Structure 1
Amino acid sequence: MASLVAKIPAAFQSAKPGLLTAWKYAASELRPPTPGEIPKAIGGILGLVGSFGKVSWRKLTVKEALLNTLVAAEISFWFFTGEVIGRRHLAGYKPGFGYKGHH
């Protein structure tokens, strides 16, 4: 037990550089947008939606097509994960849970 306790400070020291790097990125990526950034984000989304029908899928490079596919897969994953969390069951809705319906 004493040897395990002696290794804890060394483990913290070896993990410290990685944790500092993770904290640096988390502090910038996980903060809410500032009021000045909101119009930029809305403009970016509107530009993306506006260009959706203008770009032919035949003119995409393989890398762009792969990235678009990965983004769509990630969005689908989080949508279906939210559905499972929302209904609190993996397979489907449980009868009698939540909405009671007409009897």
Structure 2
Amino acid sequence: MAKALQKIVGLGQRLGTSVVTQGPKVAGDAVQWTRPRLSKFWYYARVELVPPMPSEIPAIQKGFSEVVASARSGKFMNLTTREAFRNTLVCVEVAFWFFVGEQIGRRSIIGYNVKSDHPEPKYI
């Protein structure tokens, strides 16, 4: 029992020593690895996630009218698989951000607490 305890203590000491000696190097490597990726992310976030400018609103309206015209004429059926997949991904992204906005508005991941007039079943 004492030998097992000594092994555990020795393992803890070695682990603590390696964390103290190698921790700053690992943290520096992590910062060096994330810095270019974060700068690229912030570049695209500033470009893509800004609200539309007032001058861009007519182009948005034109795009919506083209989508409606495509739906009415059946033009969307002539899309390539890649274009259809991209359009599907855009729709999924819009739905995702809608659900995230709902969770932010509720301040909870769990849905609304709806009160019912019906009694709960006894078997639950």
Q: Which runs of 5+ in 1 are unaligned?
A: none
Q: Distance in 2 between matches of 1:22 and 1:77?
A: 22
TM-score (norm 1): 0.62
Deviations 1:37-60 (A, max 9, x none): 111111111111122121256544
Aligned to 1:3: 22
Q: Distance in 2 between matches of 1:51 and 1:65?
A: 13
Runs of 4+ in structure 1 deviating by more than 2 angstroms, as ranges, are 55-72, 75-82
Deviations 1:55-79 (A, max 9, x none): 256544333444445555x179549
More helix by share: 2
Q: Which has the higher contact order (CA 8 A, sep 6+)?
A: 1
Q: Distance in 1 between matches of 2:32 and 2:89?
A: 36
Cα root mean square deviation, aligned: 3.5
Matched residues, number: 94
Q: Distance in 1 between matches of 2:94 and 2:33?
A: 37
> Partner amino acid for 1:17?
P
TM-score (norm 2): 0.53
Q: Which runs of 5+ in 2 are unaligned?
A: 1-19, 118-124
Percent of aligned pairs with the same amino acid: 30
Deviations 1:7-38 (A, max 9, x none): 32331112111111111110101111111111
3-state secondary structure, aligned to 1:32: coil
